[in-house]
Structure 1
Amino acid sequence: MAVINRIAGYSEDMTGWRRYLHQHPELGFDCVKTAAYVVERLKEFGITDIHEGIAKTGVVAIIEGQGPGPVIGLRADMDALPIAEETGAAYASTVPGVMHACGHDGHTTMLLGAARYLAETRNFAGSVALIFQPAEEQGGGGGVMVQEGVMDRFGIDEVYAIHNAPGFPEGAFYTTPGPIMAAVDTFHINIKGLGGHGAMPHATRDPVVAAVGIVQAIQTISSRNHYALDDLVISVTQIHTGSAENIVPETAYVGGTVRTFDKAVQAMVMDRMKAIVSGQAASYGVEAELDYEVWYPATVNDPARAAFAAEVAAEVVGAALVTPEAGREMGAEDFAYMLEARPGAYLFLGQGESAGLHQAGYDFNDAVAPIGASFFARLVERAAPLKT
């Protein structure tokens, strides 16, 4: 089996939906116009069981199959990123400083494509819960939807999602059993010293030197405080301080990200970072405050569902284009919250050579949208087949 013919037949419609969404990106939980557009399309497909305002702008729509069976959740994220687009596309973002640089416009389109087909055919038992989620990039909209009870409210038994993958062969899928993406935390360190003249540093308590010491010490956590085979990334990504060459500033800021899979490793990092910030502050005679924020947990696939999803993907694109045990990576994804609440799987879908995710030149490849939609549709038909 390849791409479902009916879905291929309205691929031009899908391209139109996607490019409209690309022109009208929205951030975080404020996906008001995006959600309205999604609801408008769903109603066109004859879907009437639509629930809005979940996690502020999230949408859940239910398609009933034929007879009793499981409830299969399919999720797409809707939000964009605060990046000024540089694609030069005729359908480029019309919102200054905001663009779909991660392909969520494509993810939403793939789920809409599957919704149209499933609403037409209803060739499955049970029902499908279409989950259109805001705030994946910032705010953990997936977690908010879970907290607001979507899994219990709609009786969802298992849940699946796709993310596009630039640089991976067009139309190819990959996933892995167990952990597939890391937990993500952020840290903020605010340092307060005593400013003064750059020619008289002895009369100051220099926060710049303290910031440098803290950054260097943080790097030893990975190299000296954890087992080398346990995945861990600590990246200092921001240092802000100073205003002129001849002024020792009053304050400095250090910020960054931590990626882990093991909760014990995560706890160790938090403990070591607290000790380092406190100790370095004392040694340099400054005050320093650590704000360590625990964000998305690790994204962990249910092994059986991941294997099943890989089988379905192979039916759509062929086994040669499916990698069922690709291994894990250090990116993060708030679909993790949904996989904590219900078993399921997260997969990547290659979109060929393109600019990378979160880059100003990125654009979703419309050619893969019918593939993703076919995967979603076929997964439902396989997971909840009609009895003969």
Structure 2
Amino acid sequence: MTRSTPGRPRLSNADIVDLTSWRHELHRHPELSGEEHVTAERVQEMLRPTYPDRIVTGLGGHGVAAVYDSGVPGPRVLLRAELDALPIEETGTPPYLSLVPGKAHLCGHDGHMATLAGVARLLGRKRPERGSVVLMFQPAEEDGSGAARVVADPRFGELKPDYAFALHNAPGLPLGHVAIAEGAACCASRGMRVVLSGRTAHASQPETGLSPMRALGRLMPELTGLSHGAPGTDPDFTLATVCHARLGEPAFGVAPGRAELFVTLRTLTDARMSDLVDRAEAAVQRAAASDGLTVEIGYHDVFATTANDAKAVRIVTDALDELDLGHDAGLLPLRASEDFGRFGDGPHLAIFLLGAGEGRPALHNPDYDFPDELIEVGSRIFMAVLERVNEAEDRAP
């Protein structure tokens, strides 16, 4: 049974109905990374009745930040949710199915927004005792650019927190169970795009051209062969995944003169990523040189490691203990990446996984859907965390 803290507001049944309905409306109208202008407007409409002391819009693109200030000196705490959806056709059958072809909230960001909107309602009724809270609705998490752009926005300097917390729903964990641990929580990753260029020829005379076929064929197993270990047991974990390959044009009369290769590189730490990039680039250069090809290398969807700070983790686990919510390391560290770590330059930071239930479709599956029950649970955890921050400050020497 959950213990209650006197004076801490709780979401009412009417709140939960409203927030659930709002989540469903977000689900019907997904927007991709960098396109979230309507979603941002919906967030602002939801926030206004909670009377934040300040709303900052257009952060790092379409980001929205709501500030709730106690008026008493104290720590500034940032809580983060994401605005963006995925470029995937939804195949589930909820009554609030995505109305946008080829786009859907299949990572649960609609639920994260609803959870933070629940916190906004509670802060609107009772400000923090000390310091301030920044509710950050961040754009473009899925492509790794959003948090970096928010942090680079000159206005973020006025919002920079002392503590930063986020949750992510996690199918595969029991509903409401939390996974949290100190250290690396989500891997660093980046998309490596390789273009090999030679010279086309007539298909009847391939010897007069310069084909990248052999180089492409050698590179795919060589790059995937850089993979090593597992993130939970090996600090030197690396993973290279071939995601796309193209050779020439779809024609029978032309021997190819160009090849393109997409590879995702993944490591547990940023330092290990630097080493993996060096080795991958060396392999590409060798393959190109051996066949006299020119090569271009570029990077996309760059994610740094998200690492949990010991002090922030203790705050979360103390809050979970108070709420009688089970927790352990669970699925951490994840192979997946998360750009929340970009907020960790200075503040104490932690992200935790909130169980979405066992036997559910995985994140990014075309039939995944966020469990509405987590809106209230997540909001309650965040409110307990906010109280624990002040307690942690009192304990500090």
TM-score, normalization by structure 1: 0.91
Residue 193 (structure 2) aligned to one of 188, 194, 199: 188
Residue 311 (structure 1) aligned to one of 305, 310, 318: 318
- C-alpha change, 1:304 and 1:254, in structure 2 (3 Å) is same
1:285 aligns with 2:289: no
Measured in 2, the distance between the counterparts of 1:383 and 1:265 equals 32
Superposed, 1:206-217 pairs within 5 Å as: 206-217=211-222
Deviation at 1:258, TM superposition (A): 0.7
Measured in 2, the distance between the counterparts of 1:46 and 1:275 equals 55
Which stretch of structure 1 is more off in the superposition, 165-174 or 40-49? 40-49
Contact 2:144 / 2:301 at 8 angstroms: preserved in 1? Answer: no
Contact 1:54 / 1:148 at 8 angstroms: preserved in 2? Answer: yes
Measured in 2, the distance between the counterparts of 1:123 and 1:281 equals 59
Helix, strand or coil for the counterpart of 2:227?
helix
Name the residue aligned to 1:64: 69
Superposed, 1:8-87 pairs within 5 Å as: 8-9=12-13, 10-65=15-70, 67-87=72-92
CA RMSD after TM alignment: 2.5
Residue 295 (structure 1) aligned to one of 302, 306, 322: 302
Contact 1:66 / 1:123 at 8 angstroms: preserved in 2? Answer: no
Name the residue aligned to 1:337: 342
Name the residue aligned to 1:6: 10
Helix, strand or coil for the counterpart of 2:11?
helix
Deviation at 1:244, TM superposition (A): 3.8
Measured in 2, the distance between the counterparts of 1:264 and 1:35 equals 35
Deviation at 1:191, TM superposition (A): 1.2
Q: Which segments of 5 or more consecutive residues in structure 2 lack a partner in the other structure?
A: none
Measured in 1, the distance between the counterparts of 2:85 and 2:301 equals 22
Name the residue aligned to 2:368: 362
TM-score, normalization by structure 2: 0.89
Contact 2:50 / 2:123 at 8 angstroms: preserved in 1? Answer: no
User: For this pair of structures, how many residues does the alignment match?
Assistant: 383
Measured in 2, the distance between the counterparts of 1:29 and 1:294 equals 13
Deviation at 1:204, TM superposition (A): 3.5
Helix, strand or coil for the counterpart of 1:7?
coil
Give deviations 1:116-145, integer Å, cap 9, x for gaps.
Answer: 012212253221111111111125211111
Q: Which segments of 5 or more consecutive residues in structure 1 lack a partner in the other structure?
A: none
Helix, strand or coil for the counterpart of 2:378?
helix
Which stretch of structure 1 is more off in the superposition, 362-371 or 201-210? 201-210
1:156 aligns with 2:164: no
Helix, strand or coil for the counterpart of 1:85?
coil
1:249 aligns with 2:249: no
Contact 2:167 / 2:351 at 8 angstroms: preserved in 1? Answer: yes
Give deviations 1:319-339, integer Å, cap 9, x for gaps.
Answer: 5x2115754122111101002
Given residue 320 of structure 2, which amino acid in structure 1 is its aligned partner?
A
Among the aligned pairs, what percent are the same residue?
Answer: 32
Contact 1:29 / 1:55 at 8 angstroms: preserved in 2? Answer: no
Give deviations 1:269-293, integer Å, cap 9, x for gaps.
Answer: 2222222222211222332222245
Deviation at 1:5, TM superposition (A): 7.5
